[in-house]
């Protein structure tokens, strides 16, 4: 037998799985913990129980992208991304553009810092970094950040004067660049 919050729930055998039972239709209240206690009695009359707390969680996790800064120019097809994700019941995973991130729980149980080298594709121009956090219940939330891919950035051609200078607070320095 099983009980949920003190109410007995009928458990039926699972076909093809010996000594396995399932209890369907257990009522869960959003935001409330449900104590499910399974018990079994053997042929000698000995009973064992196993309590398990179930949390009904429909709340989406939180997610943010800290780096790179929005609009920042990047030159590689893998962009280092850092951010935070949070959920009061725990963050299960974070991906950015489909790449799984490393999670560091730090000092908080409900918040993690994530890092990943996120892939971007296509020609130079604006690219979107899409971070997706998934909590332990499977709820998801997204955050986006736009960066600018520029694989052929400007080069400094010359700086004048070319030697070391000792200057006043406002020296005259010329920089020439090719785009």
Taking the C-alpha atoms of residue 94 and residue 128, their distance in angstroms, rounded to an integer, is: 16
Write the DSSP symbol of residue 48. E
What pLDDT digit, counting tens, does each position of 52-80 carry? 888 888 899 999 999 999 999 999 999 99
Give the mean pLDDT of 132-144. Answer: 96
What pLDDT digit, counting tens, does each position of 19-56 carry? 777 777 777 777 778 887 877 777 888 888 888 888 88
Give the mean pLDDT of 7-20. Answer: 77
Token pair of 149 as six digits: 């891919």
Residue 30 or 1, more confident: 30
Q: Which residues of 91-122 are buried (b: 16+ CB within 10 A; e: fewer)?
A: bbbbbbbeeebebeeeeeeebbbbbbebebee
Q: Compute CA distances 16 → 2, 21, 25, 91, 133, whole Å.
A: 21, 11, 21, 34, 36
Band of the pLDDT at 100, cuts 50, 70, 90?
Answer: very high
Q: Compute CA distances 110 → 42, 55, 89, 90, 96, whole Å.
A: 41, 15, 6, 5, 20
Element (H, E) at 69: none
What pLDDT digit, counting tens, does each position of 148-171 carry? 999 986 776 667 666 776 667 777
């Amino acid at each position: 037998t099983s009980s949920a919050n003190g109410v007995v729930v009928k458990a039926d055998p699972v076909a093809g799985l010996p000594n396995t039972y399932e209890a369907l239709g257990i009522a869960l209240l959003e935001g409330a913990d449900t104590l499910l206690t399974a018990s079994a009695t053997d042929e000698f009359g000995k009973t064992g129980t196993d309590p398990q707390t179930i949390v009904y969680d429909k709340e989406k996790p939180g997610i943010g992208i800290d780096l790179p800064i929005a609009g920042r120019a990047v030159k590689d097809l893998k962009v280092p991304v850092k951010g935070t994700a949070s959920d009061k019941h725990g963050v299960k995973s974070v991906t950015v553009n489909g790449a799984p991130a490393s999670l560091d729980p730090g000092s908080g149980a409900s918040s993690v810092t994530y890092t990943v080298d996120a892939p971007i594709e296509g020609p130079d121009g604006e690219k979107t970094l899409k971070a997706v956090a998934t909590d332990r219940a499977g709820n998801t939330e997204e955050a986006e950040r736009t960066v600018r891919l520029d694989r052929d950035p400007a080069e400094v051609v010359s700086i004048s004067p070319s030697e070391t200078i000792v200057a006043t607070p406002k020296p005259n320095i010329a920089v020439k660049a090719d785009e």
